[in-house]
């Protein structure tokens, strides 16, 4: 038995899936819709994006609700969270905040890290670009993770709250984390095509990697874009490389479609003639073709 691979027509099938996809329907369900509504300029886009990406745990309804609650604590202007002069009030408002295992004291520390950062730098883009130049996309993500962990300002701010640094894994960590949340943040910032914000302009979109959440990993595995059954940075690299061969200039443009094909229920995640019939990537799907592909 050899590894499952998509058919030679997969690029055309994927384009069909993309062309037919109801973006507007799924945009309302995606956390990026909250980020878009909170964006007034580059600073607010970055702040909304990094907090929303940090909260991107669980289902999309809960994530959107958490981002809205966070925005309410800032009076509707997320840039307030990182602007100087109200540390005590911010800490008070965030004290009771909770989303899954993410706590308000961790978000308050993130706000303090960003407040310190923005005193000296205009944008997180410069951090990512510096890492990108040294070590490609993984290097950029590592530099971003180190900055957000507050490694450079820990002496000034004091130690972070319990579990804080684990919110920002790096591709270089021994855990092999897929780093979905930071990868998603970079996609939101760097792509200037729908539905992303494009407030960063120094990162070629061809360099971006796929934010490998459970939905994207499920469909990528079943289409043969990766043979890895578990999510990892290696799986991110494999899926991204396959998509880059299809669109070298913008491989992550397929991310939204692959993700929401799962979230929306368009894909039942089982072989079901009534749903799979019109699926554009059906010829490539492991479930449709049968589990075993004989050599
Ligand atoms: S063929 Fe069915 S199970 Fe496979 S990706 Fe399409 S909808 Fe999902």
Q: What is the pLDDT along the chain (295 residues), one digit of tens a residue?
A: 568 999 999 999 999 999 999 999 999 999 999 999 999 999 999 999 999 999 999 999 999 999 999 999 999 999 999 999 999 999 999 999 999 999 999 999 999 999 999 999 999 999 999 999 999 999 999 999 999 999 999 999 999 999 999 999 999 999 999 999 999 999 999 999 999 999 999 999 999 999 999 999 999 999 999 999 999 999 999 999 999 999 999 999 999 999 999 999 999 999 998 889 899 999 999 998 874 443 3
Query: Measured in angstroms, how far is the CA atom of residue 262 from the centroid of ligand 1?
Result: 9
Atom of ligand 1 lying closest to residue 282 CA: 1
Query: Measured in angstroms, how far is the CA atom of residue 251 from the centroid of ligand 1?
Result: 21
Pairwise CA distance, residues 149 & 170, whole Å? 10
In sequence order, what are the residues at sequence separation of 6 or more whose Cβ sits closer than 8 angstroms to the Cβ of residue 157?
109, 112, 113, 116, 150
Question: What separation in angstroms does the CA of 207 have from each of 26, 82, 114, 284?
Answer: 25, 29, 25, 26
Query: Measured in angstroms, how far is the CA atom of residue 10 from the centroid of ligand 1?
Result: 13
Q: By the 8 A CB rule, do 258 and 251 touch?
A: no
Q: By the 8 A CB rule, do 129 and 203 touch?
A: yes
- Which residue puts its alpha carbon closest to atom 2 of ligand 1? 276
Residues 113-134: b if buried by 16+ CB within 10 A, e if exposed: bbbbbbeeeebbbebbbebbee
Q: By the 8 A CB rule, do 132 and 139 touch?
A: yes
226 C-beta neighbours (distance < 10 Å), count = 25
Query: Measured in angstroms, how far is the CA atom of residue 137 from the centroid of ligand 1?
Result: 31
- 102 pairs with which residues across the strands? 99
Q: What local confidence, expressed as pLDDT, does residue 290 receive?
A: 75
Query: Measured in angstroms, how far is the CA atom of residue 19 from the centroid of ligand 1?
Result: 17
Who lines ligand 1 at CB under 6 A?
219, 222, 267, 275-276, 279, 281-282, 285, 287-288
Confidence (pTM): 0.95
Pairwise CA distance, residues 195 & 59, whole Å? 19
Q: Which of 288, 289, 291 to mutate to test the pocket of ligand 1 (most atoms within 8 A of CB)?
A: 288
Pairwise CA distance, residues 119 & 121, whole Å? 6
Q: Which residue has the tokens 């990528």?
A: 220
- 98 pairs with which residues across the strands? 103
> Judging by beta carbons within 10 Å of its beta carbon (0-12, 13-18, 19+), is residue 7 exposed, middle or buried?
middle
Q: What local confidence, expressed as pLDDT, does residue 161 receive?
A: 97
- Nearest C-alpha neighbor of 199 from the set 29, 35, 8: 35
Pairwise CA distance, residues 184 & 181, whole Å? 5
Atom of ligand 1 lying closest to residue 279 CA: 6
- Nearest C-alpha neighbor of 136 from the set 38, 216, 60, 209: 209
């Amino acid at each position: 038995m050899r590894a499952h691979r998509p058919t030679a027509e997969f690029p055309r099938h994927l384009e069909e899936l993309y062309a037919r996809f109801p973006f507007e329907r799924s945009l309302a369900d995606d956390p990026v819709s909250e980020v878009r509504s909170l964006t007034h300029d580059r600073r607010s886009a970055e702040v909304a994006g990094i907090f929303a990406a940090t909260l991107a745990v669980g289902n999309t309804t809960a994530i959107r609700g958490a981002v809205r609650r966070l925005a309410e604590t800032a009076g509707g202007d997320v840039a307030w969270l990182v602007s100087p002069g109200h540390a005590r009030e911010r800490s008070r408002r965030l004290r009771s905040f909770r989303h899954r295992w993410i706590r308000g004291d961790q978000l308050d520390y993130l706000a303090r890290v960003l407040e310190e950062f923005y005193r000296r730098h205009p944008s997180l883009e410069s951090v990512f670009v510096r890492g990108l130049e040294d070590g490609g996309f993984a290097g950029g993500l590592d530099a971003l993770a180190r900055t957000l962990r507050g490694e450079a300002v820990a002496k000034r701010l004091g130690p972070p709250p319990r579990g804080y640094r684990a919110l920002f894994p790096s591709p270089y960590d021994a855990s092999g984390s897929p780093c979905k949340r930071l990868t998603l943040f970079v996609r939101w910032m760097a792509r200037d095509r729908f539905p992303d914000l494009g407030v960063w302009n120094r990162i070629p979109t061809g360099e971006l990697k796929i934010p490998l959440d459970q939905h994207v990993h499920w469909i990528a595995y079943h289409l043969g874009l990766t043979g890895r059954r578990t999510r990892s940075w290696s799986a991110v690299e494999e899926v991204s490389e396959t998509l880059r061969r299809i669109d070298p200039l913008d491989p992550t443009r397929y991310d939204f479609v692959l993700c929401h094909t799962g979230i929306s229920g368009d894909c039942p995640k089982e072989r079901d003639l009534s749903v799979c019939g019109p699926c554009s990537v059906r010829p490539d799907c492991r479930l449709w073709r049968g589990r075993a592909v004989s050599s």
